[in-house]
């Protein structure tokens, strides 16, 4: 967890989006010593961050007027557009020289469009989607994938570093979102692979705990195997990252794949499984609930 520093003191940071990821991310900004103002469509969700010392704004516009740097962490591009460009939106309060860091997962095409619109107002934007789940958000160990101008990334380093341990500037605006799409594609295969391995072990009647520990140290090791296999074994999926949100991310990735002519059969399979799970009422389960589909096919 990051400690407060003198360089952060007095830097005004606004944070919009008090969801599963946003609350701990904003909380870590307060702990790091930033002067934090928050806003959420449902104000009650701001409570945990306010208890740490953050202030609450009455609208995104008000938050923007009280901030030098604004961070957004929202569901998808329509929500980002509404918060930034809607009535009493951030764009109405951001002044020339302000910086918007969007940590939402959206299409890179939307990120580029939003950045172009803000640039006309003299406002810079970075797309900075995150990976690491709710644990990473809470522990400030997120991986942050950044697209934008180098000078803006340098300005944002303190804020980004208070929320994550790996901050990588990948290229111009939209590059961070391309990287996040690739991340979600890879995770689709990993979740399915771990689910299949766990299911095979369960059907064989094996004690999977020592097997998982052994495999985690070898070539099959992954964050999913180490952190989500126990949920698959127990068939219990407390929230870390909603399966419905991962499905939204896969829609972005599949749309991009069609645009560039890439074929993603494993991702398509994962998306189909997720559609079934959402239809069955499991959309708010953790993404490891993909194992439900594999277990069901195997009679578990």
Say if residue 9's pLDDT is above 90.
no
Query: In which band, very low, low, confident or very high, does the pLDDT at 4 lie, cut at 50, 70 and 90?
Result: low
How many beta carbons lie within 10 A of that of residue 62, not counting itself? Answer: 18
- The answer to the question of residue 2 being in a domain is no
Q: Based on the fold, state whether residues 267 and 138 are members of the same structural domain.
A: no
> Residues 196-218: pLDDT tens digits?
999 999 999 999 999 999 999 99
Q: Which pLDDT score, from 0 to 100, does residue 115 have?
A: 98
Q: Based on the fold, state whether residues 192 and 167 are members of the same structural domain.
A: no
> Residues 34-91: pLDDT tens digits?
999 999 999 999 999 999 999 999 999 999 999 999 999 999 999 999 999 999 999 9
120 is catalytic: no
Q: Based on the fold, state whether residues 157 and 201 are members of the same structural domain.
A: no
Say if residue 1's pLDDT is above 80.
no
Q: Based on the fold, state whether residues 161 and 27 are members of the same structural domain.
A: yes
Please identify, among 157, 172, 187, the residue that sits at the C-terminal boundary of a domain: 172
Find out whether 70 and 101 touch, Cβ atoms under 8 Å.
yes
Q: Which of 180, 242, 248, 296 is catalytic?
A: 180
Q: Based on the fold, state whether residues 164 and 288 are members of the same structural domain.
A: no
Domain that holds residue 196: 178-297
- The answer to the question of residue 130 being in a domain is yes
Find out whether 82 and 63 touch, Cβ atoms under 8 Å.
no
Q: Based on the fold, state whether residues 113 and 203 are members of the same structural domain.
A: no
Q: Please state, in angstroms and rounded to a whole number, the distance separating the CA atoms of residues 148 and 185.
A: 23
Q: Please state, in angstroms and rounded to a whole number, the distance separating the CA atoms of residues 118 and 125.
A: 7
Q: Based on the fold, state whether residues 228 and 156 are members of the same structural domain.
A: no
Q: Based on the fold, state whether residues 142 and 236 are members of the same structural domain.
A: no
For the stretch 7-45, what's the b/e string if a residue is b when 16 or more beta carbons lie within 10 angstroms of its beta carbon?
A: ebeebbbbbbbbbbbbbbbbbbbbbbbbbbbbbbeeeee
Mean local confidence (pLDDT), 21-41: 97
- The answer to the question of residue 1 being in a domain is no
Q: Based on the fold, state whether residues 232 and 85 are members of the same structural domain.
A: no
Residue 88's nearest CA partner among 65, 109, 116, 105 is 65
Antiparallel, parallel or unpaired: β 130-131 and 142-147: antiparallel
Q: Please state, in angstroms and rounded to a whole number, the distance separating the CA atoms of residues 51 and 64.
A: 21
Q: Based on the fold, state whether residues 69 and 20 are members of the same structural domain.
A: yes
Q: Based on the fold, state whether residues 24 and 99 are members of the same structural domain.
A: yes
Q: Angle at CA 133, nearest 5°, toward 132 and 134?
A: 130
Q: Into how many domains does the chain fold? A: 2
Find out whether 71 and 14 touch, Cβ atoms under 8 Å.
yes
Q: Which pLDDT score, from 0 to 100, does residue 290 have?
A: 97
- The answer to the question of residue 6 being in a domain is no
Its pTM stands at: 0.93
Q: Angle at CA 149, nearest 5°, toward 143 and 153?
A: 40
Can you give the CATH number for the domain in which 220 is found? Answer: 1.10.1040.10
Q: Angle at CA 127, nearest 5°, toward 18 and 84?
A: 55
Find out whether 104 and 80 touch, Cβ atoms under 8 Å.
yes
Please identify, among 114, 139, 172, the residue that sits at the C-terminal boundary of a domain: 172
Q: Based on the fold, state whether residues 76 and 60 are members of the same structural domain.
A: yes
């Amino acid at each position: 967890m990051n400690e407060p520093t003198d360089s952060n003191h007095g830097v005004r940071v606004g944070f919009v989006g008090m969801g599963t990821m946003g609350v701990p991310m904003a909380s870590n900004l307060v702990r790091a010593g930033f002067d934090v103002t928050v806003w959420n469509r449902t104000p009650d969700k701001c409570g945990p961050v306010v208890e740490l010392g953050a202030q609450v704004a009455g609208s995104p516009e008000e938050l923007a007027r009280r901030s030098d740097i604004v961070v957004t962490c929202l569901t998808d591009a329509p929500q980002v557009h509404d918060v930034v460009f809607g009535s009493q939106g951030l764009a109405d309060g951001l002044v020339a020289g302000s910086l918007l860091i969007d940590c939402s997962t959206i299409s890179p095409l939307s990120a580029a469009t939003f950045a172009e619109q803000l640039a006309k107002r003299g406002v810079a934007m970075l797309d900075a989607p995150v990976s690491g789940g709710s644990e990473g958000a809470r522990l400030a160990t997120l991986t942050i994938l950044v697209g934008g101008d180098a000078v803006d990334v340098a300005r944002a380093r303190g804020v980004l570093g208070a929320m994550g341990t790996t901050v990588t500037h990948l290229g111009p605006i939209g590059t961070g979102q391309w990287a996040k799409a690739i991340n979600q594609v890879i995770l689709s295969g990993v979740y399915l692979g771990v689910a299949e391995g766990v299911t095979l072990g369960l059907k064989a009647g094996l004690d999977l705990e020592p097997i998982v520990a052994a495999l985690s140290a070898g070539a099959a090791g992954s964050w999913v195997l180490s952190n989500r296999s126990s949920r698959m074994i127990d068939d219990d999926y407390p929230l870390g990252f909603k399966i419905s949100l991962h499905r939204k991310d896969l829609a972005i990735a599949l749309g991009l794949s069609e645009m560039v002519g890439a074929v993603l059969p494993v991702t398509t399979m994962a998306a189909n499984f997720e559609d079934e799970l959402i239809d069955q009422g499991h959309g708010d389960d953790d993404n490891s609930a993909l194992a439900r589909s594999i277990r069901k096919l195997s009679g578990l």
